[in-house]
Chains A and B, each alone.
Chain A
């Protein structure tokens, strides 16, 4: 990796992946120790998680020359705000929340109303100037999806 400026939160995310790798390694090791033969169910996971750990160390090693994204001495809350801004700029968090609400509402209110509300809501969120137009467009998209999947692909919709 060429030394470049890191993205805010990149180092933390790579470290997070490292923690996952360590946990996965410990679980695999436990499994392997129960039946320590090379063709056992724990052998290959142990090998794989060892590679993950090794690559994790390499990634950290490669990042050592990279310029830090956040200047030293920035407060923790300042760092956090910057990370959140990098990962979830603009309307991304809203859209993510909509998707979550959509998935929860889907089995309760059914496919057609939940999808319509999701489509309209996210279209309006992304483009505030087209509230009424979005009502029509989301209806059109819904009909399109419904017809294609229900009648042409014949799949069961949620």
Chain B
């Protein structure tokens, strides 16, 4: 009723030209435009059609401006769909029918492919020792054989994932497994695109068919198509089919989040950096469980190697330690000075200085378990002024008798004890020969006079007489005993001279005769006397004490046996 009245009023205004003119001035709209607005206001259906033209654009602008988020819209759509299904499931089924058919077919085809792959794999290697072992393990562990088989089969690693713009083949983004180096992503993406184009052209495949797998040696390239972009995953090994699902979800997520980026794409790929998080989900891997072999032999070998190595290391260390101990020991000895210690060609070499009086280093070396095969001692002779060395040197040169002690302190040779006058006299003469000694201290040395009486010595000498055959000076056993007794007495005469500063001489008298040939007899006699002196000299009697003499019986008041030798002591 109200509508009719409004319509009637409108006609009246229509008729009124002036009123129309006034209306146009006021509103800026002519009659047709106002009528159209009126129709829209009065007819909701027409109004809805009008709004539907720009409503999607308005929603898009609202989303772009961030005034409405997709997350806010999502529950609304979910609720609407849920309500629709609850009210009339057939309606949605009818809507989805064109989509569900191919989707179901594809899902079934992929499951069949998976089943066939699995069967092929099982048939190919089901009777191998490895798989028989798997069956046995399955029985022991309670797992199904299929489970065991799958656990062995799905060993793979997604090394790189590329997001490629479908139309241009340009690489939008790519993610790489951190363990592997990146390929030249742009080139790979373009080549994959070119291969896809080539396949499509060459095999005249339909628009919905696309390349989804490429095998390159041990690498598989799995490609998942989207309306604007594709994901290509470079996979090493044998990936499970679940990877496909992950890739599908990733490409869907990329499209959902970059729908406007795809629409206005002009080559600028920077916006697609945000798709990295979706691509990273595809970087999956499953490491093959390492086959555990019996480690007994490996352990035994390791122990053996370690044992041998340990033995050699120990022996080397022990030898080195022993050598160092030897060097320290030698270095501590007086008369030895170490100047170098090294190892050359497996032989220890010790360089140093050694006094002749020092200990025998060879015997020390042997006592430490070394010999010429593994050690070499190179000593340069030197004269040590160390106390012990000077004392040793003095003992060797001075030959002190028993009861005499020799010590050395700061250049002074200190001799103490008791010694006979002969030795003491020699000491006073000879101590200067001892290198390092500057002074002699004999304050604590007492003279032990053990020389017999001179007359007794003279008697002991003069009582001897040796008789020889013609031209003979050799002594028999009896004469040799007598000769030793003579020698001792003769030495005592020498000592007497030294102690008493006397000059007693022993005249060796060789008796002869002037008969027949005096000169020849005299010659033989003097030779015999000289031969005797020589014998006494060899026995230790100083020849300066002895004097050869020929005595003719014709000159004596009492003749003596010719070819005999007697001894007389006189002081010169």
Pair from one complex? no
Residues of A within 8 A of B (CB): none
Residues of B within 8 A of A (CB): none
